[in-house]
A and B are shown apart, each in its own frame.
Chain A
Amino acid sequence: MKKIKAKDVDVFYGKKQALFNISLDIEENQVTALIGPSGCGKSTFLRCLNRMNDVIDICSVKGEILINDFNINDKSCDVVRLREKIGMVFQKPNPFPKTLYENVSYGPTIHGIAQSKQEMDEIVETSLKKAALWEEVKDRLHEPGTGLSGGQQQRLCIARAISVRPEVILMDEPCSALDPIATAQIEELIDELKKEHTIIIVTHSMAQAARVSQNTGFFHLGQLIEHGSTDKIFKNPDNKKTQDYITGRFG
């Protein structure tokens, strides 16, 4: 089942073109990894999927991105509704400088998901449980989220993202600021989360892509060179550039 279908996506920063003609389909309830050297446009593509590029004044996006067969670049698309359905986790953990509870309950509050305090408590608890953080923080929900360790902060951000039950979760190098143990925890979590969410992860680590993803797309200089199942890309790529990148000859 295809969750997202991108067709001929071009992205411009002012006059400079950052993405050329990207067409990529994302499978539902699987993990898709986007790999490629720095500046290749993989993060830019990721940010197209929840229209975060709107924030950048000079950025313009052309082409069709269908999510559940609805074009999100259409004028009738409401970004607030879109971002409720498509959560995002950033490279650097960025919890709000508020309490843990407020961090997780923020999304449900602004989208009016919880009807009562009790319901909100439940959402916070299940979100933190799914993010494998509950046991560590259940006694200090009302302490500031910025007081946690880096790995815990990132899991808090994941809990925040899943609190509104998004269909898709975008992860922009979620482990690049974390140590190996925290990275392993997040990777385990990603494996768990794919049961309920479609996950797209941008990563610099080939090993990580191989470990967590079922599908992989390789970007280079703003072009999608190759995409397919992770097995195939890593073991038997069609394109020479992919081969070179994966074996570490450049990038």
Chain B
Amino acid sequence: MNKNKEQLLNKRYKAEKRFRLFGQSAIFMALLFLTIFIFKIFSTGYSAFQKTWLIVPVNFDAELMMLDENPTKQDIEDADYYEIALQSMWNLDLNANEDQQNQLKRMVSYFFEREIKQELLKDPNLLGKTKEVYLTASDDLDQVFKGNYPRDLPEDQRRVSDYQLKNFDQLVANGKVESKFNISFFTNADSREAELAGIASSFMGSIFSILVCLMIAFPVAVLAAIYLEEFAPKNRFTDFIEVNINNLAAVPSIVFGLLGLGVLLALFQLPRSTPLVGGITLSLMTLPTIIIAARASLKAVPPSIREAALAMGASRMQTTMHHTVPLSMPGTLSGTIIGLAQALGETAPLILIGMVAFVNTIPGSPMDPAASLPVQIYIWAESAERGFVEKVSACIMVLLGFLIIMNLFAQIIRHKFEKKWS
């Protein structure tokens, strides 16, 4: 009898130990995957925040630029920079043949003459003189400099020729290649040229979409939640509505995308590819999330507070507006932010309503075409150039940073404004 009892006890302890072990290994696995994921993203992405520049002497030859003496600012603005830009690249190898000259030109970005123009606009006194100018290296050389490019491939499988590599190495040896913080990644819109592509357009697109989404989803959801929780009679019909709101929260986002496509674009003829349409589509998706969060936090307000207010002679409306709603706000707001964070990472519905289009302008309003961060990741991940690989990871880092900030904000709101009641 006693022995039996001891065995039973041992068994119970063992079961508990086993359970703990399972739990710990589950957490370990989760952390491991997360670490691998983050490590992978950071190790591929961090180099995108650096940009490689070639320092090339440029002769601002007025004649080549078709400028007269004492040009006005407008003249400088309208001058032809292509010739001097070409010249300065060709000067790297004075013996180059035509084909090699072409290759020299392709060592810098496609818009290198604009960088030269900017330099002269900054300081018009340079006219007729020679100055070393920072030119954006081509995306392939950028990758070479960052060590991401396999130089040992046979030449015909490389986008960088031996001749370009030779000249590039010469520049490196002379200290004429520099790596600097990549500001243009944050200020440029998307581009077909990897070295020029930036996230400004998609970042603004995301911000506008989220703002539109917030302005539509928040008031509608909060009003719906307040009505359902505080005013609506409890009957079959409201039960039915509740079930459907919960179902709505589980609908795959691509379905909302189809809805946006069919209703907003086809029926209402709203402008395609704009954050306005994206925001409205996302708000449909966020609506049930906020309603559920708001109802949960309204439910969490102790009934004694409602009774206290009612017994003081407050009307139902006053009870709700003076007491219940303010007390539920922290929960509602953090639910809203989490819903918005979800919407921020949504890709499928935005692709359907056309926010996947190539946009090389930065949107100034929700009515301008734009991409969004997750869609930008998708677009770049599809691109063939090596230069986009690191951009994908960098864009993911920006998106993750954005999400972390939003979640942090939700936590702060919850902690700061949550009132304790006895």
Chains A and B form a bound pair: yes
Q: Does any Cβ of B come within 8 Å of A157's Cβ?
A: yes
Q: Once bound together, how far apart are the Cα atoms of A95 and B305, in whole Å?
A: 7
Q: Does any Cβ of B come within 8 Å of A81's Cβ?
A: yes
| Count: A-B pairs, CB below 8 Å | 70
State how many angstroms separate the Cβ of A178 from the closest Cβ of chain B: 12
Residues of A within 8 A of B323 (CB): 96
State how many angstroms separate the Cβ of A181 from the closest Cβ of chain B: 18
Q: Whose C-beta in chain A lies nearest to the C-beta of B302? A: A94
Q: Does any Cβ of A come within 8 Å of B5's Cβ?
A: no
Contact assessment for A146 and B313 in the assembled complex, using a CB-CB cutoff below 8 Å: no
Could you give, for residues 302-337 of chain B, a 1 whenever the CB lies within 8 Å of some chain A CB and a 0 otherwise? Answer: 101111111111110010001100010000000000
Q: Interface size on A (CB < 8 Å)?
A: 31
State how many angstroms separate the Cβ of B298 from the closest Cβ of chain A: 15
Contact assessment for B313 and A96 in the assembled complex, using a CB-CB cutoff below 8 Å: no
Q: Once bound together, how far apart are the Cα atoms of A146 and B418, in whole Å?
A: 13
Q: Whose C-beta in chain B lies nearest to the C-beta of A85? A: B313
Neighbour of A160 across the interface among B305, B312, B318, B422, CB < 8 A: B312
Q: Does any Cβ of B come within 8 Å of A207's Cβ?
A: no
Q: Once bound together, how far apart are the Cα atoms of A55 and B307, in whole Å?
A: 9
Contact assessment for B310 and A55 in the assembled complex, using a CB-CB cutoff below 8 Å: yes
Q: Does any Cβ of A come within 8 Å of B236's Cβ?
A: no
Could you give, for residues 93-119 of chain A, a 1 whenever the CB lies within 8 Å of some chain B CB and a 0 otherwise? Answer: 111110000000011001100000000
Residues of B within 8 A of A87 (CB): 311-312
Contact assessment for A96 and B311 in the assembled complex, using a CB-CB cutoff below 8 Å: no
Contact assessment for A110 and B314 in the assembled complex, using a CB-CB cutoff below 8 Å: yes
Q: Does any Cβ of A come within 8 Å of B401's Cβ?
A: no
Contact assessment for B327 and A83 in the assembled complex, using a CB-CB cutoff below 8 Å: no
Q: Interface size on B (CB < 8 Å)?
A: 23
State how many angstroms separate the Cβ of B380 from the closest Cβ of chain A: 49
Could you give, for residues 147-182 of chain A, a 1 whenever the CB lies within 8 Å of some chain B CB and a 0 otherwise? Answer: 000100100010011001000000000000000000
Q: Once bound together, how far apart are the Cα atoms of A80 and B314, in whole Å?
A: 6
Contact assessment for B313 and A57 in the assembled complex, using a CB-CB cutoff below 8 Å: no
Once A57-B233, A81-B313, A110-B313 are accepted as A-B contacts, the answer to whether A94 and B308 lie under 8 Å apart by CB is yes
Once A83-B312, A160-B312 are accepted as A-B contacts, the answer to whether A97 and B420 lie under 8 Å apart by CB is yes
Residues of B within 8 A of A164 (CB): 312-313
Q: Whose C-beta in chain B lies nearest to the C-beta of A109? A: B322
State how many angstroms separate the Cβ of A49 from the closest Cβ of chain B: 11
State how many angstroms separate the Cβ of A144 from the closest Cβ of chain B: 8
Contact assessment for B312 and A57 in the assembled complex, using a CB-CB cutoff below 8 Å: no
Q: Does any Cβ of B come within 8 Å of A50's Cβ?
A: yes
Residues of A within 8 A of B420 (CB): 97, 146
Once A94-B302, A97-B420 are accepted as A-B contacts, the answer to whether A80 and B311 lie under 8 Å apart by CB is no
Q: Once bound together, how far apart are the Cα atoms of A144 and B419, in whole Å?
A: 10
Residues of B within 8 A of A82 (CB): 313
State how many angstroms separate the Cβ of A50 from the closest Cβ of chain B: 6
Neighbour of B234 across the interface among A57, A110, A150, A153, CB < 8 A: A57
Could you give, for residues 388-422 of chain B, a 1 whenever the CB lies within 8 Å of some chain A CB and a 0 otherwise? Answer: 00000000000000000000000000000001111
Residues of B within 8 A of A25 (CB): none
Once A96-B323, A97-B327, A97-B420 are accepted as A-B contacts, the answer to whether A83 and B302 lie under 8 Å apart by CB is no
Residues of B within 8 A of A93 (CB): 422
Residues of A within 8 A of B304 (CB): 90, 92, 94
Residues of A within 8 A of B314 (CB): 80, 106, 110
Once A97-B419, A110-B318, A153-B422 are accepted as A-B contacts, the answer to whether A80 and B313 lie under 8 Å apart by CB is yes
Contact assessment for B313 and A157 in the assembled complex, using a CB-CB cutoff below 8 Å: no
Question: Which chain A residues numbered 44 to 73 have a C-beta less than 8 Å away from chain B?
Answer: 50, 52, 55, 57
Q: Once bound together, how far apart are the Cα atoms of A57 and B238, in whole Å?
A: 14
State how many angstroms separate the Cβ of B373 from the closest Cβ of chain A: 39
Q: Does any Cβ of B come within 8 Å of A84's Cβ?
A: yes
Neighbour of A107 across the interface among B233, B307, B313, CB < 8 A: B313
State how many angstroms separate the Cβ of B131 from the closest Cβ of chain A: 67
Q: Once bound together, how far apart are the Cα atoms of A178 and B125, in whole Å?
A: 87
Q: Does any Cβ of B come within 8 Å of A22's Cβ?
A: no
Q: Does any Cβ of B come within 8 Å of A202's Cβ?
A: no
Q: Whose C-beta in chain B lies nearest to the C-beta of A81? A: B313
Q: Once bound together, how far apart are the Cα atoms of A92 and B421, in whole Å?
A: 12
Q: Whose C-beta in chain B lies nearest to the C-beta of A54? A: B310
Greatest chain A CB density within 10 A among B308, B315, B318 is at: B308
Could you give, for residues 280-313 of chain B, a 1 whenever the CB lies within 8 Å of some chain A CB and a 0 otherwise? Answer: 0000000000000000000000101111111111
Residues of A within 8 A of B233 (CB): 57
Q: Once bound together, how far apart are the Cα atoms of A153 and B313, in whole Å?
A: 20
Q: Does any Cβ of B come within 8 Å of A199's Cβ?
A: no
Q: Does any Cβ of B come within 8 Å of A88's Cβ?
A: yes
Contact assessment for A146 and B311 in the assembled complex, using a CB-CB cutoff below 8 Å: no
Q: Whose C-beta in chain A lies nearest to the C-beta of B304? A: A94
Residues of A within 8 A of B307 (CB): 52, 55, 90, 94
Q: Whose C-beta in chain A lies nearest to the C-beta of B420? A: A146
Q: Once bound together, how far apart are the Cα atoms of A94 and B419, in whole Å?
A: 14
Contact assessment for B422 and A146 in the assembled complex, using a CB-CB cutoff below 8 Å: yes
Neighbour of A52 across the interface among B310, B315, B421, B422, CB < 8 A: B310
Residues of B within 8 A of A150 (CB): 422
State how many angstroms separate the Cβ of B13 from the closest Cβ of chain A: 40
Q: Once bound together, how far apart are the Cα atoms of A93 and B234, in whole Å?
A: 28
Residues of B within 8 A of A157 (CB): 308
Once A57-B234, A146-B420 are accepted as A-B contacts, the answer to whether A94 and B305 lie under 8 Å apart by CB is yes
Residues of B within 8 A of A146 (CB): 419-422
Q: Whose C-beta in chain A lies nearest to the C-beta of B316? A: A55
A-B contact pairs, 18 of them (CB 8 A): A52-B307, A52-B310, A52-B311, A55-B307, A55-B310, A57-B234, A82-B313, A90-B311, A94-B308, A95-B308, A96-B308, A96-B323, A106-B314, A110-B312, A146-B422, A150-B422, A153-B422, A157-B308
Closest 6 CB pairs of A and B: A94-B304, A83-B313, A88-B311, A97-B419, A84-B313, A94-B308
Q: A52-B310, A96-B305 are in contact. List 17 more A-B contacts (CB 8 A).
A: A52-B307, A57-B234, A80-B314, A83-B312, A84-B313, A87-B311, A92-B304, A94-B304, A94-B307, A97-B305, A97-B327, A106-B322, A107-B313, A110-B313, A146-B420, A146-B422, A164-B312
